[in-house]
């Protein structure tokens, strides 16, 4: 096959095929008497493997690391190499998704602050143009979600052994059966809709405790929810 036919059947451009030859992803094919590259059918399988690796997000350097396994002529080492790379790519993709979700939440939070206060003159510390203004003492939870959230806090109350006022809030001493993973998720969810809350989960000689603080104007909300 001439290079144009390989390009047509593989989906790679002729320029890409020449580049892959330069970086040793493709072995240099023999040439005809007139100097044209002459490929056999094996190059199509090799290019299909390269395309598969690229589909998994592999860089050309990573593809090059897989080529010795391909050249061995045995499938198990090829699959093993692809499996390891795919697992690493999946971990990285999930991390990027978490970062994107956090970035999306930040954008939503920042957008909510803009326009809440617009000074007539220069920007100030409360307008949101240069920094985050103090969060409003308000809950942004949808009304339909409120009963479920209140039930979550009520369920937590079954694990509370003592309630004590602290500076700026309330301390809840918890028993040893408290589901800490679930509590951490509840704290995160509550802080999303009530950003004026500040949660601290402590474990010390006194036991496990949840400390909730809020600005002075929000202490009544803390007491109503957890008191």
Closest Cα partner for 18 from 42, 41, 47? 47
Per-residue pLDDT tens digits of the chain, which is 227 residues long: 999 999 999 999 999 999 999 999 999 899 988 888 999 999 999 999 999 999 989 999 999 999 999 999 999 999 999 999 999 999 999 889 888 888 887 787 788 778 778 889 998 888 888 877 666 677 777 888 889 988 998 998 899 999 999 999 999 999 999 998 899 899 988 888 888 888 999 888 888 999 999 888 888 888 888 87
Instruction: Check: CB of residue 44 under 8 Å from CB of residue 11.
Output: no
Tell me, what's the pLDDT at 209? 93
Return the structure tokens found at 120: 């007539």
Contacts (Cβ under 8 Å, ≥6 apart) of 1? 9, 38, 39, 40, 41, 43
Tell me, what's the pLDDT at 17? 94
Alpha carbon dihedral 82, 84, 85, 88, in 10-degree steps, equals 150
Tell me, what's the pLDDT at 110? 80
Q: Which residues pair with 162 in a beta bridge?
A: 173
Record the pTM: 0.52
**Fold of the 143-226 domain:** Hypothetical Protein Ta0175; Chain: A, domain 2 (3.90.1070)
Within 13 A of 194's CA, how many CA atoms are on the CB side? 20
Residue whose structure tokens are 């451009």: 13
**Using the 8-state DSSP alphabet, how is residue 78 labeled?**
H
Tell me, what's the pLDDT at 127? 83
Domain positions in the chain? 3-73, 91-133, 143-226
**What is the edge-to-edge ordering of all strands in the sheet holding 169-174?**
160-166, 169-174, 207-213, 198-204
Instruction: Check: CB of residue 48 under 8 Å from CB of residue 6.
Output: no
Cβ neighbour number for residue 64 with a 10 Å cutoff: 16
R_g of the chain, CA atoms, integer Å: 30
CATH of region 3-73: 1.10.1660.10
């Amino acid at each position: 096959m001439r290079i144009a036919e390989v390009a047509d059947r593989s989906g790679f451009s002729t320029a890409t095929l020449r580049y892959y030859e330069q970086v040793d992803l493709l072995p240099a094919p023999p040439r005809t008497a007139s100097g044209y590259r002459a490929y056999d059918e094996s190059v199509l399988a090799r290019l299909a493997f390269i395309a598969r690796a690229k589909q998994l997000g592999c860089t050309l350097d990573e593809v090059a690391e897989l080529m010795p396994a391909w050249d061995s002529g045995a499938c198990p080492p090829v699959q093993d190499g692809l499996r390891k790379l795919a697992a690493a790519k999946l971990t990285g993709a999930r991390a990027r998704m978490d970062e994107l979700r956090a970035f999306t939440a930040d954008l939503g939070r920042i957008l909510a602050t803009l326009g809440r206060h617009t000074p007539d003159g220069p920007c100030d510390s409360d307008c949101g143009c240069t920094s985050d203004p103090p969060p409003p003492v308000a809950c942004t939870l949808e009304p339909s979600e409120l009963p479920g959230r209140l039930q979550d806090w009520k369920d937590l109350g079954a694990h509370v052994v003592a309630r004590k006022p602290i500076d700026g809030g309330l301390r809840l001493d918890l028993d040893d059966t408290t589901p800490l993973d679930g509590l951490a998720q509840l704290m995160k969810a509550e802080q999303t809709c009530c950003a004026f809350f500040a949660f601290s989960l402590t474990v010390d000689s006194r036991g496990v405790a949840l400390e909730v603080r809020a600005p002075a104007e929000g202490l009544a909300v803390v007491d109503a929810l957890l008191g």
